[in-house]
Amino acid sequence: MMTTVQLAQDPALTVEALSVRLQSEAGVNDAVRSLSLAIDKGQTFALVGESGCGKSMTALALMRLLPEAGQVMGGRVWVGEQELNALPEAQMRRVRGGRLAMVFQEPSTSLNPVMTVGRQILETLHTHTQYRGHAARQRAIYWLSKVGIPDPERRIDDYPFQFSGGQKQRIMIAIALAAEPDVLIADEPTTALDVTVQGQILRLLADIQKEMGLGILLITHDLAIVKSVADHVALMRAGEILETRTAAEFFADPRHPYARALLAAVPSFAKRGHSLVPSVDATTLVAGIDGSASIPHPTQAAKVLHTPQIHPAFKSALASAPVVLSVQNLGVSYPQRSGILRRITGHTRVVDDLSFELRAGETLALLGESGCGKTTTAKALLRLLDKQAIITGQALLEGESLFDVGGAKLKAMRRRLQIVFQDPYASLDPRMLVCDILEEGVAALRPDRSAADRRAHVGQLLERVGLPANTVNRYPHEFSGGQRQRIAIARALAVEPAVLVCDEPTSALDVSVQAQLIQLLQDLQAEFNMAYLFITHNFGVVEYLSDRIAIMQGGRIVEIGETAALLESPKHAETQRLLAAVPRL
């Protein structure tokens, strides 16, 4: 089904019946089907939907940057009154980056690592504007200042690796806006950023949009962000737009069953104790607004969702549960080296005097801005920083010291403490079959098990995390992001840990896949009584899943408490600042 609504009165971008086809080994796929939309100058149009629905392919088609396997099969695209699909490539180069610009999802791969950021901005200025020489350099400095890069006169000559993730995203925005385009396509511009940096990026775009009259096509799956910044929303699935409405109407009264399902799957404190996964079969979600598929309004969804799990603000049984992980006065410092001989001249302290306890069956969320020391804490506890950093303090796992053991004892303790990393694609060996990945840990940490026993155990694990039996004979790249994360969880569970560290396990996942993963983690915790140390910047997941929250700032825990109490009455200024920055539905 395709809904076409002409919204623009002073159009910056108009798309009419755009269709894109992809050729692959599996056959022909219609990635975008008869897509139509229109964006006014000075307005934000959000294109929302889950991974694989065609959002990014639409953006690449508009920019005429489709991969070789992609082809525009029909449709017309106008920037103002200029029709793009009729232009030869030489003329399109003048439009691309000049009148129509794009901020890509991952700045680390979009910025040239061997060019200074200044040269990359100058490249846009030289191609699309009249600025040259000293005037061009001053204009590049102006744009770095405009997007909030401190000390731009000096940092213009720095390389991308010398900037944080949020700063790299700002530089991408500076490059995109340097030629003062009419339309900006922002493809997941805030994915994997913490809430405060995310807020800064969104405010930056809004300020520049107001000043320049910029039309913005925002591509995202984060519905809370859409509600806070968009004027109009188009919901996309399987290459088609299912519903196009003003943002206020879309969130107040979502008409399409798929829209209601996505909104119902967004975690929050109010939904604790209720499943985020709808009981309606996913194949019915593409039905129209004729009532053939029935999913409740999000405000009533909790009443009919299946497998409710009572998950109170703080389980009373936890108070008497045994402490499985005790951390006292943890410190992590990295040596600073200088000179030809690279002698140590000082130390940078990343984690400072950090203490907490974790009980069996408890979920403790570790929150804070990027760089506050969350992941460093996890890696130190897992003994992954022994050769890189100086670690002080004490950590007891089920009463035994983590930092004072080695050899066979350390191996035995690693059976009881496992981690699920943020990016399963990077943490799973791409050259190994899934069966080998899962058996590797069991063979190393459970040598008492026979090969046949290990294979049977692997099969049970895959079934437990909701993956088919043929998963064992496939490689990681053959799976979606959510499925790879399930494989990573299965690998961690293979040795039956007492504590599972989850480092951003739901980052960049769609809301429905995220809901399935949260449900899986809850079920596994109930079955095995595992303790979770949950590291994330996703407050919705934390509010829904955690028993206690610890807020980190500058390597220290500045506030810790039961989830309900901390959310209702935050004491520390950093906690208050983080909560105020969270976009909400």
Quote the Cα angle for 122-123-127, to 5°: 110
Helical axes 117-128 vs 133-146, angle rounded to 10°: 120
**Cβ neighbour number for residue 573 with a 10 Å cutoff:** 11
pLDDT of 292 > 60? The answer is no
Confidence (pLDDT) at 9: 64
Going by pLDDT thresholds of 50, 70 and 90, the confidence category of residue 89 is: very high
- CA nearest 16: which of 79, 95, 96, 91? 79
CA distance 20 to 35: 9
pLDDT of 516 > 80? The answer is yes
CA distance 425 to 481: 8
pLDDT of 451 > 70? The answer is yes
Going by pLDDT thresholds of 50, 70 and 90, the confidence category of residue 279 is: low
Q: What is the pLDDT of residues 386-445, one digit of tens each?
A: 988 999 999 999 999 999 998 888 888 888 999 998 777 778 898 999 999 999 888 887
Confidence (pLDDT) at 14: 95
Overall average pLDDT of the 369-374 stretch: 86
CA distance 256 to 173: 33
Contact, 43 vs 216, CB < 8 A?
yes
CA distance 293 to 487: 32
CA distance 490 to 363: 19
- CA nearest 326: which of 366, 288, 358? 358
Confidence (pLDDT) at 165: 77
> Structure pTM?
0.80
Contact, 168 vs 117, CB < 8 A?
no
pLDDT of 284 > 50? The answer is no
Burial group, residue 458, by CB count within 10 angstroms (0-12, 13-18, 19+): buried
Looking at every residue in the chain, the average pLDDT score rounds to 86
Confidence (pLDDT) at 250: 95
Q: What is the pLDDT of residues 16-34, one digit of tens each?
A: 999 999 887 767 889 999 9
Q: What is the pLDDT of residues 207-238, one digit of tens each?
A: 899 989 999 999 988 888 999 999 999 999 99
Burial group, residue 493, by CB count within 10 angstroms (0-12, 13-18, 19+): buried
One-letter amino acid for residue 301 of the chain: A
| C-alpha R_g of the chain | 25
One-letter amino acid for residue 28 of the chain: V
Going by pLDDT thresholds of 50, 70 and 90, the confidence category of residue 313 is: very low
pLDDT of 200 > 50? The answer is yes
Strand partners, 11: 40
| Helix residue spans in 371-510 (DSSP H) | 374-381, 407-414, 424-427, 434-445, 451-464, 481-493
Q: What is the pLDDT of residues 99-122, one digit of tens each?
A: 999 998 778 788 999 999 999 999
Q: What is the pLDDT of residues 523-555, one digit of tens each?
A: 889 888 999 999 988 888 999 999 999 999 999
Confidence (pLDDT) at 301: 39
